[in-house]
């Protein structure tokens, strides 16, 4: 059963909000969670950042969450947070069902105890925040900046700033206020489409922070930038002895374009030393489309691989 704790009183004047002021209310919520056997989603509205524009951040606490247990919880950071837990805020009216999947997998002993942290995207800036800024020389070229301005309204990519928000602001806040492990082997990142790209970029750019990445229906065919980013992977992929990466794609709608690109990435994974089924998975789902319904139907697969 989903219980949404909507925190609103702190955000009447958002310009004066800081993470420090949020923590007081968070402790109150955690105290309630200690006494509640049902799972909860805590919503922080317009979470402030010095790197990116404010946005909602949702935190899922699984059934039986224990703020005082000696065993620290794993943390999964997921992008496009409005689509992760709540059908009412999801683009398509169908959410990923990650909360139900986490509760079920934990009960079955398939995964370790885990909380999920899901910052929302800001629709107009989503591409600029999720497209990897690599290779940097290309993304900063006049031609690309002009194309970005024409198509998105912004003349730069802000994925580096978005990742700084995750690593330098959101992660410390979560570790201060929740009973979670800070270790990289207990910290994962996951998303779909452009969210798949930024998840891969995150584990490549911060291999000391993220131990696993789930890249669902990864949107490789971005004109010019997509293949250019793939070309950086041979030198940026993290150590396969200490990291895990999951990829998948469907065969319908936008996903039908992905297989040729994914095959190139798979070749790079093999050359880097990754082993299919051990520290890397690529799965093809025949008949699956590029939408939340398809991701909901298979989300248990990457979750089990990333969090077991």
pLDDT level of residue 37 (50, 70, 90 thresholds): low
**pLDDT per residue as tens digits for the range 220-245:** 999 999 999 999 999 999 999 999 99
How far apart are the C-alpha atoms of 18 and 15, rounded to whole Å? Answer: 9
> Hey, how many other C-beta atoms are within 10 angstroms of the C-beta on 135?
15
pLDDT at 38: 85
Q: How many residues make up the chain in this entry?
A: 308
**pLDDT per residue as tens digits for the range 74-99:** 999 999 999 999 999 999 999 999 99
**pLDDT per residue as tens digits for the range 144-198:** 999 999 988 899 999 999 999 999 999 999 999 999 999 999 999 999 999 999 9
Mean pLDDT across the stretch 53-60? 97
pLDDT level of residue 123 (50, 70, 90 thresholds): confident
pLDDT at 101: 98
Strand 74-78: give its sheet, edge to edge.
4-7, 40-47, 55-61, 114-119, 74-78, 187-192, 212-216, 244-250, 280-285
pLDDT at 40: 95
Kindly state the percentage of the chain with pLDDT values over 90.
85
**pLDDT per residue as tens digits for the range 1-26:** 444 433 332 222 222 223 332 332 33
Residues near 179 by Cβ (< 8 Å), separated by ≥ 6?
Answer: 65, 66, 67, 68, 69, 72, 73
């Amino acid at each position: 059963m989903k219980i949404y704790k909507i925190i609103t009183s702190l955000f009447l004047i958002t310009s004066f909000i800081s993470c420090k002021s949020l923590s007081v209310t968070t402790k109150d919520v955690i105290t309630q969670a200690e006494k509640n056997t049902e799972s909860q989603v805590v919503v922080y509205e317009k979470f402030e950042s010095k790197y990116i524009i404010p946005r909602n951040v949702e935190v899922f606490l699984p059934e039986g969450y224990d703020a005082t247990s000696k065993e620290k919880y794993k943390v999964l950071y997921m992008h496009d947070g409005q689509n992760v837990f709540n059908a009412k805020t999801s683009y398509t009216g169908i959410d990923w069902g990650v909360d139900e999947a986490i509760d079920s997998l934990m009960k079955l002993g398939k995964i370790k105890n885990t909380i999920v942290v899901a910052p929302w995207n800001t629709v107009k800036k989503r591409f600029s925040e999720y497209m990897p800024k690599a290779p940097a020389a290309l993304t900063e070229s006049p031609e690309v900046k002009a194309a970005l301005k024409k198509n998105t309204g912004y003349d730069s990519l802000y994925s580096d700033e978005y990742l700084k928000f995750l690593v330098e602001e959101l992660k410390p806040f979560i570790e201060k206020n929740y009973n979670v492990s800070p270790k990289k082997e207990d910290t994962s990142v996951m998303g779909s489409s452009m969210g798949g790209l930024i998840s891969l970029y995150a584990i490549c750019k911060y291999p000391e922070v993220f131990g696993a990445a789930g890249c669902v229906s990864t949107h490789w065919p971005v004109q010019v930038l997509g293949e250019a980013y793939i070309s950086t992977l041979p030198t940026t992929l993290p150590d396969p002895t200490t990291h895990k990466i999951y990829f998948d794609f469907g065969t319908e709608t936008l996903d039908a374009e992905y297989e040729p690109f994914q095959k190139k990435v798979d070749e790079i994974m093999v050359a880097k030393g990754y082993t299919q089924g051990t520290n890397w998975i690529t799965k093809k789902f025949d008949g699956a489309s590029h939408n939340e319904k398809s991701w909901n139907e298979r989300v248990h697969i990457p979750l089990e691989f990333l969090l077991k």
